[in-house]
């Protein structure tokens, strides 16, 4: 007990208080500097570059504060750096996946295929980007799920930026019966596009006769819209198409099969059975 009390000398207490003071003040200064940089670069840098700069300041400042604390405690920085180099090599071999994600993150930030707030589709996942980090990208799906995608996956996978451009085109595939008047169909679709407030007049709607199908004629109906109006435009447009088709007597085609039944000819009548006497007749020897 006395040895434990002797450890807490006035000099030790002074070092402990100084270390705590350096740590608290350092963290406060780092937060203030990060907020100041964010405010100054908001108008000149994109969100991912601004976030990368803030993280670089935070990590670099944390290392500097750590070295100051070690110096106050009397730790030799040169020996620590030598040991850290050896440990870093070992950790580098053990963390090849993380290094791959880090390098991929730098490529993504320099290439800028997306930014925070964009909606992207990667494989079966579609969502809005919440953050772009050096190791991964976090997205929130439209059904409110949180997904972390490693940067190496984004580099090696086909990625679609759904909201990259201010306007997009919605393509709707339609199949109508062969009895449909093609001129009437084109007129009705143009009326639908013109009456929908979310459809743009320029570029003009696209109506393409794609092919003759097994059950009907295939058409592609494409309309342009501003990307914030996607859900409202899709729902209203689908409803308008159905209502206009019903009013004009245009029928959607669906897979159908026709069965033809024919009457088979009667089977021929069987001949009389041979008599027992004839069956038993044989050649005399």
Report the pLDDT averaged over residues 181-194: 93
**Average pLDDT score, the chain:** 81
Q: What are the residue ranges spanned by the domains of the chain?
A: 10-94, 113-161, 167-248
48 or 107, which is more confident?
107
Helices first, then strands: H and E counts in the chain: 9, 8
- 110: which 2 tokens? 């320099």
CA distance 216 to 7: 91
User: pLDDT, tens digit, for every residue of 193-248?
Assistant: 999 999 998 889 999 999 998 889 999 999 999 888 888 888 999 999 999 999 99
pLDDT, residue 83, reads 59
pLDDT, residue 223, reads 94
* C-beta of residue 237 within 8 angstroms of C-beta of residue 171: no
- Where does the pLDDT of residue 267 fall: very low under 50, low under 70, confident under 90, or very high at 90 and above? low
Report the pLDDT averaged over residues 11-25: 81
Over 80: is that where the pLDDT of 142 sits? Answer: yes
pLDDT, residue 206, reads 93
pLDDT, residue 276, reads 53
pLDDT, residue 177, reads 92
Considering only the C-alpha atoms of the chain, give the largest distance between any 2 of them, rounded to a whole number of Å: 142
CA distance 82 to 221: 67
Residue 125, CB-side half-sphere exposure with 13 Å CA sphere: 20
SS3 (DSSP) at 226: strand
- Where does the pLDDT of residue 39 fall: very low under 50, low under 70, confident under 90, or very high at 90 and above? confident
4 or 212, which is more confident?
212
User: pLDDT, tens digit, for every residue of 40-70?
Assistant: 777 776 666 677 777 778 878 888 888 888 7
Report the pLDDT averaged over residues 90-96: 57
Looking at the domain 167-248, which fold is it?
Alpha-Beta Plaits (3.30.70)
- 274: which 2 tokens? 């041979």
Q: Which of 34-48, 93-107, 163-177 has the highest mean pLDDT?
A: 163-177
3 or 232, which is more confident?
232
Report the pLDDT averaged over residues 114-122: 88
pLDDT > 70: percent of the chain = 79
Report the pLDDT averaged over residues 245-274: 76
Strand locations in the chain (E) = 119-122, 125-132, 136-141, 146-150, 159-161, 167-176, 206-212, 217-226
CATH architecture of 113-161: Roll (2.30)
Complete DSSP assignment for 195-225: H-TTS-SSSPPEEEEEEE-SSSEEEEEEEEE
- Where does the pLDDT of residue 285 fall: very low under 50, low under 70, confident under 90, or very high at 90 and above? very low
Over 70: is that where the pLDDT of 178 sits? Answer: yes
Report the pLDDT averaged over residues 146-163: 90
């Amino acid at each position: 007990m006395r040895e434990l009390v002797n450890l807490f000398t006035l000099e030790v207490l002074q070092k402990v208080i100084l270390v705590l003071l350096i740590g608290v003040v350092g963290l406060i200064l780092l937060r203030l500097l990060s907020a100041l940089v964010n405010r100054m670069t908001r108008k000149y840098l994109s969100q991912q570059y601004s976030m990368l700069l803030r993280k670089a300041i935070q990590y670099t400042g944390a290392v500097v504060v750590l070295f100051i604390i070690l110096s106050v405690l009397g730790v030799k920085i040169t020996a620590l750096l030598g040991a850290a180099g050896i440990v870093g090599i070992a950790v580098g071999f053990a963390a090849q996946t993380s290094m791959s994600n880090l390098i991929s993150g730098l490529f993504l930030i320099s290439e800028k295929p997306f930014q925070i707030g964009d909606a992207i589709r990667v494989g079966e996942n579609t969502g809005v980007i919440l953050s772009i980090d050096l190791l991964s990208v976090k997205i929130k799906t439209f059904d409110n799920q949180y997904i972390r995608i490693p940067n190496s996956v984004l580099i090696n996978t086909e990625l679609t930026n759904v909201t990259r451009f201010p306007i997009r085109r919605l393509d709707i595939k339609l199949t109508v019966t062969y009895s449909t008047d093609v001129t009437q169909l084109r007129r009705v679709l143009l009326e639908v596009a013109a009456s929908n407030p979310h459809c743009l007049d320029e570029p003009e709607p696209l109506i393409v006769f794609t092919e003759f199908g097994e059950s009907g004629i295939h058409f592609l109906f494409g309309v342009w819209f501003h990307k914030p109006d996607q859900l409202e435009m899709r729902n209203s447009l689908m409803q308008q198409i159905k209502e206009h088709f019903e009013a004009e007597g245009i029928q959607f085609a669906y897979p159908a099969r026709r069965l033809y039944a024919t009457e088979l000819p009667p089977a021929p009548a069987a001949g009389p059975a041979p008599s027992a006497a004839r069956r038993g007749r044989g050649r005399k020897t």
